[in-house]
Amino acid sequence: MKAVTWHGRRDVRVEEVPDPILKEPNDAIVRITSSGLCGSDLHLYETLGPFMGEGDILGHEPMGIVEEVGPETGGLSVGDRVVMPFQICCGHCWMCNQGLHTQCETTQVRDQGMGAALFGFSKLYGEVPGAQAEFLRVPEAQFMPIKVPEGPPDERFLFLSDVLPTAWQSVAYADVPEGGTLLVLGLGPIGDMASRIALLQGKRVIGVDLVPERLARVKARGAEVIDLSVVDDVGEEVRSLTGGRGADAVVDAVGMEAHGSPVAEMGQRIFNVLPKRITAPLMNKVGLDRMAAIYTAIDAVRRGGTVSLIGVYGGQSDPMPMLTLFDKQIQLRMGQANIKRWVDEIMPLLLDDADPLGTEGFATHQVSLDDAPAAYQNFQKKQDGTVKVVFKPGS
Ligand SMILES: NC(=O)c1ccc[n+]([C@@H]2O[C@H](COP(=O)([O-])OP(=O)(O)OC[C@H]3O[C@@H](n4cnc5c(N)ncnc54)[C@H](O)[C@@H]3O)[C@@H](O)[C@H]2O)c1
Ligand SMILES: [Zn+2]
Ligand SMILES: [Zn+2]
């Protein structure tokens, strides 16, 4: 089959690789019809190279049609239309029973000290072959696939794999009080969707980014926006919009590719010239910190407010501003999204043909797998109006 594979920093290729096969009795094989490109893939593309293997298949936002099932896949049938969560989880362990599917005790990557395995996401997360491919082996298929009805186009349901529940969790964790203000840092797919969800819930939303079309998309849905390319003190600007107090809650949907961390960029350049066997343990220990957005969040949130981190961070070397966190009584909540925890709450919005979250028009680019190298580049550089790319294997 054809698949998108990793070969080095900013080097993804489209290659022929062996088709996946059933390995465990609870595996299924899914023929992929749509597969998202995510800001998390950009971490692999740019910063997390030391944890990647040459030829690893990328991608973790899949949907498609069940092609083959093992004998222990419960009610799953060949021909079912399904969306898979980006994390691999069993649905019956203690953590899954708490709704903490990203900590699944059946799939935790213990030799790396990490939580649940993820599709297409480096050795840290089990080096499981990813979903930007024509076919995908789905482990734990008695639980993983989310069955969706025939009818609406893929895009109505595809974002259940990551964007929708991730954005939903970020807003739930932000816990904005009635009549309160949510500041959303970063208006990529995650911040954009988090803004839509909070607006739908009747909150006041202020979004921050520096890419004109991303600001425009969120503004068009009713949010106020701050353009980081003209405003350099976001905290001050937010306080001036909130009676001097700051936002009740902040969602940081930026993560470690944050713009505006020259020190981290230099650190990254150093990592890039050292051999992998040195950099992987080093990055694991001291980390790679690009904390610009977190600092903005801590500054812009009001005293006693909540910061909800949904952007992914990998660093451990910069000390957090503990004095300020403590003095301002800030509540910090974070983590990978527990996809299955939120599906039942989101599904009614997707089955509503008015499409209140605008999922059908959410992707800006639908492309074939062959276009992956250009799509990764355009998404990273924010070129060609790229906000959300969906690959259409088989097209
Ligand atoms: N926790 C989870 O489960 C989960 C799931 C999916 C994605 N993510 C993470 O969410 C983050 C966003 O993903 P995405 O797909 O929207 O990616 P993205 O890279 O398209 O979005 C990031 C946005 O932040 C903007 N930005 C950069 N620096 C900024 C700054 N200092 N202040 C404000 N905005 C800034 C960029 O212009 C960009 O629009 C990534 O870190 C990704 O890994 C987490
Ligand atoms: Zn994703
Ligand atoms: Zn589990």
Report the separation in Å between the CA atom of 187 and the middle of ligand 1, taken as the mean of its atom positions: 7
Residue of the CA atom closest to atom 25 of ligand 1: 186
Q: Rounded to two decimals, what is the model's pTM? A: 0.93
pLDDT of 50: 87
Arithmetic mean of pLDDT over the chain: 93
Nearest ligand to the CA atom of 389: 1
Condensed to tens digits (0 to 9), the pLDDT of residues 6-29 reads: 999 999 999 999 999 999 999 999
Q: Does any ligand 1 atom lie closer than 6 A to the CB of residue 191? A: yes
Q: In 3D, which of 357, 361, 355, 351 has the Cα closest to residue 390?
A: 361
Q: Which two tokens stand for residue 109?
A: 């990557």
Q: How close is the Cα of 86 to the center of ligand 2, in Å?
A: 7
* Predicted local confidence at residue 272, as pLDDT: 63
Of all residues in the chain, what percent carry a pLDDT higher than 90? Answer: 84
CB of 293 within 6 A of ligand 1: the answer is yes
Average pLDDT of the segment spanning 187-202: 98
228 close to ligand 1 (CB < 6 Angstrom): yes
Average pLDDT over residues 212-227: 98
Residue 176 has pLDDT above 70, yes or no: yes
CA of 3 to the centre of ligand 1 (A): 25
Would you state the pLDDT for residue 312? 86
Is the CB of 2 inside a 6 Å radius of any atom of ligand 1? Answer: no
Buried b (16+ CB within 10 A) or exposed e, 190-220: bbbbbbbbbbeeebbbbbbbbbeebbebbee
pLDDT at 144 over 60: yes
**Phi, psi dihedral angles at 103 (to 5 degrees):** -110, 15
208 lines ligand 1 (CB under 6 A): yes
Confidence of residue 256 (pLDDT cuts 50, 70, 90): confident
Categorize the per-residue pLDDT at 323 as very low, low, confident or very high, splitting at 50, 70 and 90.
confident
Of 85, 126, 83, 122, nearest to 107 by C-alpha is: 126
Question: How far is the centre of ligand 2, averaged over its atoms, from the C-alpha of 24 (Å)?
Answer: 25
Q: Which ligand is nearest to the CA of 251?
A: 1
Distance 256 CA to ligand 1 centre (A): 8
